[in-house]
Structure 1
Amino acid sequence: MPLMNAKRSRLVIIDFQARLMPAIHDGPRLVANAGRLVAAAQLLEVPMVVTEQNPAGLGPTVPELAEAAPAIAKMSFDACAAPAFIEAIAGDDDLVLCGCEAHVCFGQTTLSLLEHKRRVFVVQDAVGSRVPESKGVSLRRLARNGAEVVTTEMVLFEWLRTAEHPQFRAALKLVK
């Protein structure tokens, strides 16, 4: 089934960390879009998973996203190497991913999830790298390997499916 479904999705927020974000190209916009995803997930009861790469060095998750879920600390770039992460994403839910950096932690995690035959949606307007070229190359590679590249609004409206959804008006405020 090509469409995302809120009832069988999990939002994965990768390494939106305080000391990293000032170096990320277009960081404030990416954090804002990730915030929209978090708010939509809360409205529609979509479970969330948050990771932090080397939190002692890169700091905690940015305040705007910190309350989404307890963070899973990791040292490996690929979050799939952390047993707590694998436990948090257990099952066969679609994984809707946002985070940093597209070509390092985010990219390696996505490729690993695809290797494990998970259905992955990469939210390109909520994914960042320090250098735009790195993000572009990574997104193309992820798509070639089977990730669906989507936008924040695509996620929101596919999760809703209809203007008759009880949370439609509240969700609409997230994109206006």
Structure 2
Amino acid sequence: MPLLSASDSTLVIIDFQARLMPAIHEGAALVAHAQKLVAAAGLLGVPVLMTEQNPAGLGGTVPELAGAGPVIAKMSFDACAEGAFLEALEGDGQIVLCGCEAHVCVGQTALSLLAHRRRVTLVQDATGSRRPESKDAALARLARHGAEIVTTEMVIFEWLRSAGHPRFREVLKLVK
């Protein structure tokens, strides 16, 4: 089914790190969108998994997202190269992916997840690169290989499914 389901999704946040974000094009807006995803995930029971690339060199996760979920430290650009990452994603649920950089860690992780036959949905307005053309090329490549490209609001409203959802009003405040 192409629609996302809160009961069958994991939100994966790649490398939103303190020393990296100032160099990312429109970094503050990306963090704000990731915060909305994390808040919606919390309200709707969607698990969150985070990664940090070389945390000794790039620092920890930005304060706005710190503590949103367990963190897998990695040196490989592809998070799937870390056994703990794949173990944390056991099963065959949907992966809602966002982070930095689109053309490096996010891209390699998404391609590996697709190779593992996982359904990957990439949130474009919560994914960035230092240069916009790098992000654009990554999104086009990932779409060609089977990743769904969506926005934060698409994810949130698909997770909700209905204005009759008991948490609708709380979640709606995130997008207004």
TM range (shorter): over 0.9
The equivalent of 1:134 in structure 2 is 134
Cα deviation, residue 34, structure 1: 0.2
Cα deviation, residue 162, structure 1: 0.2
Structure-to-structure mapping, 1:1-176, within 5 angstroms: 1-176=1-176
Superposed CA deviations along residues 16-72 of structure 1, whole A, max 9, x for unmatched, are: 000000000000000000000000000000011000000000000001111111211
Structure 1: gaps spanning 5 or more residues: none
d(CA) in 2 for partners of 1:80 and 1:37? 22
Cα deviation, residue 164, structure 1: 0.4
Cα deviation, residue 126, structure 1: 0.2
What is the SS of the residue equivalent to 1:38?
helix
Structure 1 moving runs of 4+ over 2 Å: none
Structure 2: gaps spanning 5 or more residues: none
Instruction: Provide the alpha-carbon RMSD of the alignment.
Output: 0.4
d(CA) in 1 for partners of 2:84 and 2:151? 27
Cα deviation, residue 155, structure 1: 0.2
d(CA) in 2 for partners of 1:52 and 1:35? 17
d(CA) in 1 for partners of 2:139 and 2:70? 27
Superposed CA deviations along residues 104-162 of structure 1, whole A, max 9, x for unmatched, are: 00100000000110000000000000000000000000000000000000000000000
d(CA) in 1 for partners of 2:170 and 2:104? 35
In the alignment, residue 60 of structure 1 is paired with which amino acid?
A: G
d(CA) in 2 for partners of 1:89 and 1:51? 13
In the alignment, residue 76 of structure 2 is paired with which amino acid?
A: S
What is the SS of the residue equivalent to 2:102?
coil
d(CA) in 1 for partners of 2:135 and 2:173? 28
In the alignment, residue 146 of structure 2 is paired with which amino acid?
A: G
d(CA) in 2 for partners of 1:163 and 1:7? 17
Q: State the TM-score, normalized to the length of structure 1.
A: 0.99
d(CA) in 2 for partners of 1:122 and 1:50? 15
d(CA) in 2 for partners of 1:28 and 1:147? 24
Alignment coverage as a number of residue pairs:
176
Q: State the TM-score, normalized to the length of structure 2.
A: 0.99
In the alignment, residue 167 of structure 1 is paired with which amino acid?
A: R
